Structure 1
Amino acid sequence: MARTPDTDKTPAGAAGEFDPLRLDLQLCFALYSAANKVTRLYRPILEPLGLTYPQYLAMMALWEESPRTVGALGEALGLDSGTLTPLLKRLEGQGLVERARDPADERRVTVSLTGEGAALKARAAHVPAALACQLGCDLAEIADLRDRLKRFVERI
């Protein structure tokens, strides 16, 4: 029987053999499940701010650097312009950002925080601690997991 480091802890397939295609053994599924659950935990925390999770990510990137081109923002978030543009339109509709064509290059669109968007940062300052409380982890454990995931992403 083929064995992996987790075989002793993992249920075997129907014939008692190790099944490498079991869903619960897949790294991709563990990452997918974790991402979905964490995103759901953000919903009630972000709702009073009027933000969805993707909008929160965009706002954090803009709180770090504004103005930014749509391309630079998409690169920072790992999103293409087809996904990012509707998100930015909603943020613009909420009065949190402004989009404008770059006068030097009409093909480029820049995104800037409005005063209201910049002020939202102070109201969002509690979000990381609130999430940590929801996760039931201490901040050191969360930082360790984050750092390990960042190193993992850099390798792939």
Structure 2
Amino acid sequence: MTESTGLEQMICFELYAASRTMTGLYRPALDAAGLTYPQFVTMRVVWHRGRITVRDLGAALNLDSGTLSPLLKRLEAQGLIRRERGTDDERVVWISPTPQGAALEHELADLPRQLGCTLDLTPEDLATLQSLLSRVRGAAATTPNRRETAR
């Protein structure tokens, strides 16, 4: 029997550990494709939207520009995306997949389903889990940071 650490009673730790474990499941396939997990989820949004502004991409990924900009530079250097300034407003930067980036979509399209099948969960369990995690994210996003409210 495993000795208690006290962490097993913390939902935040279970979410953290589960996230790291899931990301680890993706690693072999993503390494072979030359992507990190953050690059993969970024490309998933770009593939889904086709063309998206950096601002909207950041919102979709819940990433600030300081985190997103270097990630986009690496994807552009790999030839997977194209960044273009808006013609009406040069402050707006549009992201779109290159032909090479679009080809990668077909290579990795089934990856989430394949990895979902490796878990010992029914389709109903997976749907419930996804719904609960979405509710947790939504609730956490609207909860004020205690440090900020204490000031």
Superposition TM-score tier, normalisation by shorter sequence: 0.7 to 0.9
Letter in 2 for 1:116: Q
Q: How far apart, CA to CA, are the structure 2 residues paired with 1:86 and 1:92?
A: 10
RMSD over aligned Cα atoms: 1.7
Give the C-alpha shift of residue 147 in structure 1.
1.4
1:133 corresponds to which of 117, 129, 135: 117
**What does 1:60-71 correspond to in 2, within 5 Å?**
60-71=44-55
Identity, % of aligned positions: 46
Letter in 2 for 1:88: L
Letter in 2 for 1:53: Y
Deviates more, 1:80-89 or 1:120-129: 120-129
1:31 corresponds to which of 2, 8, 15: 15
SS at 2:94's partner residue? strand
The 1:46–1:136 alpha-carbon spacing in structure 2 relative to 1, beyond 3 Å, is farther
Give the C-alpha shift of residue 47 in structure 1.
1.9
Structure 1: 5+ residue runs without aligned partners?
Answer: 1-10, 14-21
Q: How far apart, CA to CA, are the structure 2 residues paired with 1:91 and 1:32?
A: 26
Q: How far apart, CA to CA, are the structure 2 residues paired with 1:137 and 1:47?
A: 26
Please identify the structure whose Cα radius of gyration is greater.
Answer: 1
Deviates more, 1:105-114 or 1:71-80: 105-114
- CA distances 1:86-110 after superposition (whole Å, capped 9, x unpaired): 1111111111100111122122211
Structure 2: 5+ residue runs without aligned partners?
Answer: 141-151
Aligned residues: 137
- CA distances 1:52-77 after superposition (whole Å, capped 9, x unpaired): 10011001101111211111000000
